[in-house]
Amino acid sequence: MAESNTPDIIYTKVDEAPELASASLLPIIRSFAAAAGVSVGTKDISLAGRIIAAFPEKLTEAQRQTDDLAVLGELVKTPEANVIKLPNISASVPQLVAAVRELQAQGYDIPDYPETPSTDAETEARARYDAIKGSAVNPVLREGNSDRRAAVAVKNYAMANPHRMGDWVSDSKTRVAAMSGGDFFSNETSATLGAAAKARIVLETAEGETVLKDGLSYPAGTVVDATFMSAKALDAFLADEIVKTKAEGTLFSLHMKATMMKVSDPIIFGHAVRAWLAPVFDQYGERMAELGVNPNSGMGDLLERVKDEPEIMAAIEACRAARPPMYMVNSDKGITNLHVPSDVIIDASMPALIRDGGKGWGPDNKQHDTNCVIPDNSYAPVYDEAIKFFKANGKLNPATAGTVQNLGLMAQKAEEYGSHPTTFEIPADGTVKMVLEDGTVLHSHKVEQGDIWRSASARKAPIEDWVNLAIERQKATGFRAIFWLDANRGHDAELIKMVKPILEAKGVADKFEIMAPAAATKASLETITKGENTIAITGNVLRDYLTDLFPILELATSAKMLSIVKLMQGGGLFETGAGGSAPKHVQQLVEENHLRWDSLGEFCALGESFTFLADAKGNEKARVLGKAVDAATQGILDHDRSPSRKVGEPDNRDSHYWFARYWAEALAAQSDDADLAAHFAPIAKALADGEAAITGELAAAQGKPADLGGYYHTDADKTAAVMRPSATLNAIIG
């Protein structure tokens, strides 16, 4: 159960740029909320916070932290939940290792991350760390399905001020490459359980049976999938695409989600690193293994480990010269696509490339046509179809384009994003079976050593909730509504069997279409090109991918999306924008004391949170605050008060001043609550009268390095000093 003293609103403590922005914005939110009797608390779900909570044994009392993620995980299962969730790091192993080192340097007695555990203590530490890495937060908190769309004010602004789009040409060489067989898509089997069941996963080999996972339990009606990717087929595909890319004269790029798919995708990423440096591994593989090289950690880690081996370094350079040029994360610093698994995240990288006319950045710091390698065919067709559409029709016009809203099935660890505990790199040739307690073999796959086998599931209650959410949304908007489901894919075929009867029973089957992802992509692009709107009703991974793809095309960014999770027990989770570019923002702040993070997503979520609070608890003052937040958000857009990218120009802190001012002015001007109007009238006047002093103090803070006392675990006082440099503003807000 939730704690009895739970604040009205929980604002999450996270990582990187959004957390730095919180140091400036949260005091404003708390000050304004207090006037309506609304308490705003925080819970620490940052990577550093989760590490500290996981290893309390040797920490001092002052250093220890509660497991706030677990606390929130219980809260979101109650009607009282009202959580504003900012984007957190989906920790890759390199990020996790860096955070551990930073905490150790700050005096936290926590163990190293054991790459290859050799003792019981290391094995236990590895298990604790593995529960933290990847996107460990979202599956815990998302006890509801997703409703993501562009806020009306944001969409109107984007149409009135269209962003730059790269030009597409019909003879562009940019393309998507995916496996033609042997991938997760082609090997998937799926079944719906007629009754509650317990299961185990075993590997049968010539030597006998090994239990890969025991104690699995599924309620009746759960859709359970199993599939595998062939390591041999993957390696052959990657080798072939490297050769083809060289012949085509394009950039080679790999697009994965090694953060969210924290078991399978780092392995696939490692195969790509090994394929890219195949001649080097063939000649020096044993020595590299002695040096601790793990291709799954990326080229950056590899290069660091072999830097004192001149023969290996020379072989790497010779290999690079023979390969096609690679898509770059940072051309200036020589950071390649294969440097770090978490650097290239498909849902951000592919839309950006499509927005830029199919161009990616090469080693020469210029844009070029690109071979976009997405090994698995489950979702590659979405990007393939988008590229083909724009080659044929030219770029999208943001000034006239309609919008694609999304309703995503994600509650209770639905689909692939819940597969981490049931994903395995196969140690020997044999057959993997999922066996029910009564002996029924639910799934069976013949596999070879090195193959990647995984199982995922989606429960009946979230599926039914998702369909009903879609019915509500379509009725409210009248938009074209499409279920993105492929009848030729095992999992989707099972969902279709559940979706159709619900639509028919509600008498709305004629309001919905069911299409495979490629066809749905084309239909959605055709719809928004005509200035009309559509709702994409999708599974969990497509929810993630599409809520970047379409917003980046429509709005230039996905950080400004309205993201509402209607929790199944009646609470509300309000998610803010994506954090994919946040590391660069932090780097700029540290070097120049300029934070270009745009808090518009936080503004949108805040307004929804206050409105939800008003409905849930009958607090009409909260409703007035929410309406005024919407007015302030509109003011930010109308007056172009969002942060600039360049030092010396207004940044995130300036936008927070203007947000506070517009919010106070809207509250002072409203007539729904005289007490709030009277309270905020002098605040609004003080903020307006103090404009010159406040903006001057904010401007004076920029242009010199900023000390945060850490990256993953910053010093609160130092961060507050950096993010609240205006004494005038602080005095008014309190």
Whole-angstrom Cα distance, residue 191 to residue 183?
19
Count the neighbouring beta carbons within 10 Å of the beta carbon of residue 8. Answer: 20
Query: CA separation (Å) from 62 to 65, 216, 628?
Result: 8, 38, 40
Of all helices (H) and strands (E), which one includes residue 502? helix 490-505
Residue of 8, 90, 14 lying closest to 606 (CA atoms): 8
Whole-angstrom Cα distance, residue 360 to residue 368?
5
Count the neighbouring beta carbons within 10 Å of the beta carbon of residue 610. Answer: 30
**Binding site annotation covers 171?**
no
User: Does residue 3 have a pLDDT over 70?
Assistant: no
Average pLDDT over residues 470-489: 96
Residue with tokens 């094995």: 123
With a CB cutoff of 8 Å and minimum separation 6, the contacts of 204 are 430, 431, 432, 433
Lookup: tokens for 589 = 């702040």
Going across the sheet that includes 430-436, the strands are: 208-218, 197-205, 430-436, 441-447
Give the model's pLDDT for residue 578.
Answer: 63
Lookup: tokens for 251 = 């950039």
Whole-angstrom Cα distance, residue 195 to residue 218?
9
Whole-angstrom Cα distance, residue 213 to residue 424?
10
Q: Are strands 9-13 and 82-85 parallel, antiparallel or unpaired?
A: parallel
Give the model's pLDDT for residue 579.
Answer: 56
Give the model's pLDDT for residue 160.
Answer: 92
With a CB cutoff of 8 Å and minimum separation 6, the contacts of 525 are 385, 386, 389, 393, 396
Query: Tell me, what DSSP letter sits at residue 485?
Result: -
The residue extents of the domains of the chain are 7-90+571-734
Of all helices (H) and strands (E), which one includes residue 385? helix 380-393
CB 484 within 8 A of CB 542: yes
Q: State the maximum Cα–Cα separation within the chain, in Å, rounded to a whole number.
A: 81
- State the first-to-last Cα distance of the chain, in angstroms, to the nearest integer: 34
Query: Tell me, what DSSP letter sits at residue 91?
Result: B
Give the model's pLDDT for residue 2.
Answer: 42
Residue of 627, 546, 631, 637 lying closest to 600 (CA atoms): 637
Of all helices (H) and strands (E), which one includes residue 537? strand 534-538
Whole-angstrom Cα distance, residue 620 to residue 626?
10
3-state secondary structure of 50: helix
Give the model's pLDDT for residue 417.
Answer: 87
**Binding site annotation covers 324?**
no
Tell me the H-state helices in 512-559.
517-529, 540-555
DSSP string, 317-337: HHHHHHSPPB-EEETTTTEET
Q: What is the pLDDT of residues 291-321, one digit of tens each?
A: 999 999 999 999 999 999 999 999 999 999 9
Residue with tokens 């307004």: 607
**Binding site annotation covers 87?**
yes
**Binding site annotation covers 56?**
no
**Binding site annotation covers 473?**
no
**Binding site annotation covers 114?**
no
**Binding site annotation covers 149?**
no
Q: What is the pLDDT of residues 214-246, one digit of tens each?
A: 999 999 999 999 999 999 999 999 999 999 999
Q: Are strands 572-575 and 82-85 parallel, antiparallel or unpaired?
A: parallel
Q: What is the pLDDT of residues 689-722, one digit of tens each?
A: 999 999 999 999 999 999 999 999 999 999 999 9
Query: Residue 367 burial (CB < 10 Å; 0-12/13-18/19+)?
Result: middle
With a CB cutoff of 8 Å and minimum separation 6, the contacts of 18 are 86, 87, 576, 579, 582, 597, 599, 602
**Binding site annotation covers 139?**
yes
pLDDT band with cut points at 50, 70 and 90 for residue 564: confident
**Binding site annotation covers 596?**
yes
Of all helices (H) and strands (E), which one includes residue 383? helix 380-393
- Give the chain's mean pLDDT: 94
Count the neighbouring beta carbons within 10 Å of the beta carbon of residue 672. Answer: 13
CB 460 within 8 A of CB 243: no
User: Does residue 658 have a pLDDT over 60?
Assistant: yes
Q: What is the pLDDT of residues 480-512, one digit of tens each?
A: 999 999 999 999 999 999 999 999 999 999 999
Of all helices (H) and strands (E), which one includes residue 505? helix 490-505
**Binding site annotation covers 85?**
yes
**Binding site annotation covers 708?**
no
Q: What is the CA radius of gyration of the chain?
A: 26
**Binding site annotation covers 71?**
no
Of all helices (H) and strands (E), which one includes residue 727? helix 727-733
Lookup: tokens for 614 = 């008003």
**Binding site annotation covers 137?**
yes
- pTM comes to 0.83
Give the model's pLDDT for residue 60.
Answer: 97
**Binding site annotation covers 378?**
no
**Binding site annotation covers 658?**
no
**Binding site annotation covers 580?**
yes
Give the model's pLDDT for residue 391.
Answer: 97
Residue of 43, 52, 58, 172 lying closest to 109 (CA atoms): 58
Which bin fits 705, alpha (ψ -120 to 50), beta or left (φ > 0)?
A: beta
**Binding site annotation covers 90?**
yes
**Binding site annotation covers 687?**
no
Average pLDDT over residues 69-81: 94
Give the model's pLDDT for residue 580.
Answer: 54
Residue type, 418: G
**Binding site annotation covers 138?**
yes
Task: Tell me, letter by letter, the H, E, C secondary structure of 7-37.
Answer: CCEEEEECCHHHHHHHHHHHHHHHHHHHCCC
Tell me the H-state helices in 277-376.
278-290, 299-306, 310-322, 346-355
User: Does residue 684 have a pLDDT over 90?
Assistant: yes
**Binding site annotation covers 320?**
no
Whole-angstrom Cα distance, residue 598 to residue 473?
28
